[in-house]
Amino acid sequence: MVDDHKPDDKQPDQTGDVDSPQEQGSLSGDGYESEDILEGAEPWEPIETKIVLGSFGAAIILLVIFALLINKYILN
C-alpha cells in the first residue's frame, strides 16, 4: 500500500513554532477517514478466506494434538 499523504513543508510562524502536534499529525490516525485508508486496497478474494479459515483450523487441531501429547508424555 502506497501512502500518498505527504505533509506540507511548513514555515515557522512569528513565535517560532512550526505547527502544533495536532496539525503535524499523530500516530493515532485520527486525521484519516476509513475511505482514505482503504482507498487503494485490493478486494478480498474467496480463496483468501479459505486459506485463513484453513490456517485457523489447522492451528486449533495442532494445538489439541500437542496438548494431548504433552499431557500423556510430560505431565504423567
How does pLDDT run across 39-75, given as a tens digit for each residue?
A: 788 889 999 999 999 999 999 999 999 999 999 999 8
Extract the C-alpha cell encoding 67: 496438548
Distances (CA, A) of 18 to 7, 12, 14, 28, 30: 12, 4, 9, 20, 20
pTM exceeds 0.95 for this model: no
Extract the C-alpha cell encoding 23: 496539525
What is the reported pLDDT for 18?
A: 56
How does pLDDT run across 2-39, given as a tens digit for each residue?
A: 555 555 555 555 655 555 555 555 566 666 676 677 77
Extract the C-alpha cell encoding 74: 510430560
Extract the C-alpha cell encoding 45: 478474494
41: which residues sit within 8 A by CB, 6+ positions away? Answer: 1
